[in-house]
């Protein structure tokens, strides 16, 4: 009996020391009505929008060269392509202007804006090409100019302190104008394309196609394609640069059906069935430039600007420029030769 109260006291003390069992945390219930797909959303689909905003700020460069004899409508066609006065002769014809004795290179820069997208367009004209009695090696100044632009880009690239954005003056596209004789390509045409197809994207164009009948035009196009194939001349889009089956199918169709584009250029507007159209007025009617039943100008514009403009730039950078770069660096043991100017730049950078 004397131990009872002591035990009861000890039990009371023990009960004070032992902590009470903790309550389990309340787990929040899964929210009802939320789509399971939303819970897995990360946001990588915004990358395209981020890239779009960045490129919109910087804008785009596009350099197009036009080569062909005088009087084939090169300036008019370029103006028609971009629907603005961008060619060398847009300021009007000068009575004192003479045919140059040698091939000249004239580059004119413009900034074109459409739908908030800015493009720095450079049109490179080659007056004097093919206009002489002796046209031997008249493609050399053009080839030299194209390589000079690659050299300029390479020198900027190998600088110790490089510019964040190197100015791109490389020729992305060369429209070569073929005279609408209806017979065959001239030796000059073949020689030019043989030499230049290795360094630039050439797109052959039959100028002033309204001088031929539909049958003559079809026959002439087939003949030109055959001659290019026989002479091993690669024009853009080149077969070996097709990246996948979709590209190959699309480009094969262009190579086999459209090339070379038979085009008509005009910067004059006329009224046809209540609509304003770009065209050429003849005694028997108006040739509508953008009408596919009249000529293939619309196909050329879609090809150069709407579907392949970015690809033209990529092929120029990844193929033609890389080929030039590899050759130059191999020839000079890794670097372009030092000039006084580049030495000064390197010292100032250091």
* CATH classification of the domain holding 176: 3.40.50.300
By C-alpha distance, which of 312, 217, 202 is closest to 264?
217
pLDDT at site 96: 53
Q: How many CA atoms lie within 13 A of 49 on its CB side?
A: 4
pLDDT at site 202: 93
pLDDT at site 133: 77
Confidence of residue 94 (pLDDT cuts 50, 70, 90): low
The Cα–Cα gap between 168 and 3 comes to: 103
More confident residue, 298 or 9: 298
pLDDT at position 39 over 90: no
Supply 166's token pair. 């190197």
pLDDT at site 100: 60
pLDDT at position 339 over 90: no
Does some domain include residue 144?
yes
Least confident span in 36-40, 65-69, 255-259 = 36-40
Q: What percent of the chain lies above the pLDDT cut of 90? A: 20
Other C-beta atoms closer than 10 Å to the C-beta of 346 total 14
Work out the average pLDDT over 328-343: 65
Does some domain include residue 281?
no
Does some domain include residue 300?
yes
Q: What percent of the chain lies above the pLDDT cut of 70? A: 79
Does some domain include residue 42?
no
pLDDT at site 93: 46
pLDDT at site 161: 85
Does some domain include residue 25?
no
pLDDT at position 315 over 70: yes
pTM, 2 dp? 0.78
Residue 78, burial from CB neighbour count under 10 angstroms (0-12, 13-18, 19+) = buried
Tell me the torsion sign for CA atoms 263, 266, 269, 270.
Answer: negative
Pairing of strands 202-206, 173-178: parallel
pLDDT digits (tens, 9 = 90+) for 211-245: 888 888 889 999 999 999 999 888 888 888 777 78
pLDDT at site 333: 66
By C-alpha distance, which of 192, 236, 159, 198 is closest to 324?
198
pLDDT at position 75 over 60: yes
Confidence of residue 322 (pLDDT cuts 50, 70, 90): very high
By C-alpha distance, which of 64, 93, 95, 69 is closest to 80?
64
Does some domain include residue 289?
no
Pairing of strands 202-206, 261-262: parallel
pLDDT at position 296 over 90: no
Q: Which residue has the tokens 């919109």?
A: 56
Residues 6 or more apart whose CB falls under 8 angstroms from that of 103 comprise: 126, 127, 128, 129, 138, 141, 142
Does some domain include residue 244?
yes
- How many structural domains does the chain have? 1
pLDDT at site 26: 62
pLDDT at site 22: 63
Does some domain include residue 230?
yes
Q: 20 phi and psi, to 5 degrees? A: -70, 145
CA distances, 65 to each of 118, 190, 271, 298 (Å)? 20, 18, 32, 19
The Cα–Cα gap between 243 and 249 comes to: 11
Average pLDDT score, the chain:
80
The Cα–Cα gap between 124 and 138 comes to: 16
pLDDT at site 91: 46
Task: Give yes or no for a contact between 90 and 79, defined as CB atoms under 8 angstroms apart.
Answer: yes
Task: Give yes or no for a contact between 279 and 266, defined as CB atoms under 8 angstroms apart.
Answer: yes
Work out the average pLDDT over 72-100: 69
The Cα–Cα gap between 124 and 298 comes to: 22
pLDDT digits (tens, 9 = 90+) for 130-173: 877 778 888 888 999 999 999 999 999 888 888 888 888 999 99
User: Which domain, by its residues, includes 303?
Assistant: 58-88+99-265+295-332
């Amino acid at each position: 009996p004397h131990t009872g109260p002591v035990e009861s006291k000890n039990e009371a003390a023990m009960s004070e020391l032992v902590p009470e069992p903790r309550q389990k945390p309340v787990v929040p219930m899964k929210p009802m009505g939320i789509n399971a797909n939303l819970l897995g959303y990360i946001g990588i689909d915004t990358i395209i929008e981020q890239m779009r905003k960045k490129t919109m700020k910087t804008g785009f460069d596009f350099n197009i060269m036009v080569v062909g004899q005088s009087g084939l409508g090169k300036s008019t066609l370029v103006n028609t392509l971009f629907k603005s006065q961008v060619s060398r002769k847009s300021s009007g014809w000068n009575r004192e202007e003479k045919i140059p004795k040698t091939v000249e290179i004239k580059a004119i820069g413009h900034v074109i804006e459409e739908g908030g997208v800015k493009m720095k367009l450079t049109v490179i004209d080659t007056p004097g090409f093919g206009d002489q009695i002796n046209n031997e090696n008249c493609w050399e100044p053009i080839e030299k100019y194209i390589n000079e632009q690659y050299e300029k880009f390479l020198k900027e690239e190998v600088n110790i302190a490089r510019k964040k954005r190197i100015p791109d003056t490389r020729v992305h596209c060369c429209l070569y104008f073929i005279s609408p004789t209806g017979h065959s390509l001239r030796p000059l045409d073949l020689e030019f394309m043989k030499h230049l197809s290795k360094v630039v994207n050439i797109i052959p164009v039959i100028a002033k196609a309204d001088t031929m009948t539909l049958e003559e035009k079809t026959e002439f196009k087939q003949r030109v394609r055959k001659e290019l194939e026989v002479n091993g001349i690669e024009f853009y889009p080149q077969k070996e640069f097709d990246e996948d089956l979709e590209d190959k199918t699309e480009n094969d169709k262009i190579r086999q059906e459209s090339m070379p584009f038979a085009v008509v250029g005009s910067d004059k507007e006329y009224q046809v069935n209540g609509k304003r159209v770009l065209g050429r007025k003849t005694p028997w009617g108006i040739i509508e430039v953008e009408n596919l039943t009249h000529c293939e100008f619309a196909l050329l514009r879609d090809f150069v600007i709407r579907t392949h403009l970015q690809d033209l730039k990529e092929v120029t950078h990844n193929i033609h420029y890389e080929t030039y770069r590899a050759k130059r660096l191999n020839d000079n043991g890794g670097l372009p030769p030092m000039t006084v100017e580049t030495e000064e730049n390197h010292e100032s950078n250091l």
